[in-house]
Structure 1
């Protein structure tokens, strides 16, 4: 009987995978690589090694979960392609979990008196922009994932009424603007993790909250723009 959930987190430079037991939600194992541009060449290797080290095979998978984004366009596409390929080949369901929500869950689950805070994951989107969202400790969404241009007044209304915890690759930029605010707290070292994706994916599986293997696309949040090299746009001679 297939009893495991495999989770993939490729939205950041970290390539992360995890295995959870479907019945209990217990973590079986995890693995990650912190190498630039390692996702495409190492993801399948990590999966095979983790299954082998935990004495399991692909046949033991009941579902595959993937980090849904936002995050790295290339990383998200690699994770989605791997997850869809496994689900199609094994004829098992696909689960997608918000990158930002999984980060909030990761922090809320180890925070004392978490009901006193709103949790604000921030992913760096270059310059003074971040991808951010707000969640209660229960996972309830207060502010949907959105691109934010950071200034001293960002999230001022929320900070006026409740303490917020900020974390993720974009939080340091905001800390420089509101470091003295009494209701703004900042955490370091919080990064997207397949373990948090898997914890939420087990719950989603029980609700049968599945995605179409054929048509699923990651949530990029913003359109990706590509340009044609100038040399390619020049008219041919002759």
Structure 2
């Protein structure tokens, strides 16, 4: 250094330069420190749950133990040589014994295409009963049922008519899963001579069930 140089100025310049470097290093250290904190692993965990089973129910409405029943024999719902005013009674049991769900049902009566005009003079009535009575009164066959009437309708040729329109409930217990029905079919007194010698082959009763 030249004689007479200003040492104070030199020292100040050197320390100022060193001070800048130190501050830069410290600042870099802070940045690195923040970076290290940001990459630390986090604690993690999980839990699980398993549902129960999902099962569908069963609706299996039957009549007299089967899906399709035909009235037959001495206790069946049929009659020959009918006269106006004659009637016939027979019973049927509606069953919900194989279902797992309670239900309600209604019933319709259908006659096939080509059914004769005789059909239009037959009246069907259904009662909540299991005790039909068939006899003769004043020369006419009489069929009757005890218990409340559930429905009635005049049959129609080649058509379906509602008979039981108020839905009937059936449960799933032994006390509630069956219902005894008693049917009475009557050839009404006003039947004309024009339907003599006609035969209605059959009437199809359909029980329509829905779950409650």
Between Structure 1 and Structure 2, the one with more helix by share is 1
The two structures have a TM-score, normalised by structure 1, of 0.28
1 or 2 for the larger relative contact order (CA 8 Å, sep ≥6)?
Answer: 2
The two structures have a TM-score, normalised by structure 2, of 0.30
Between Structure 1 and Structure 2, the one with more strand by share is 2
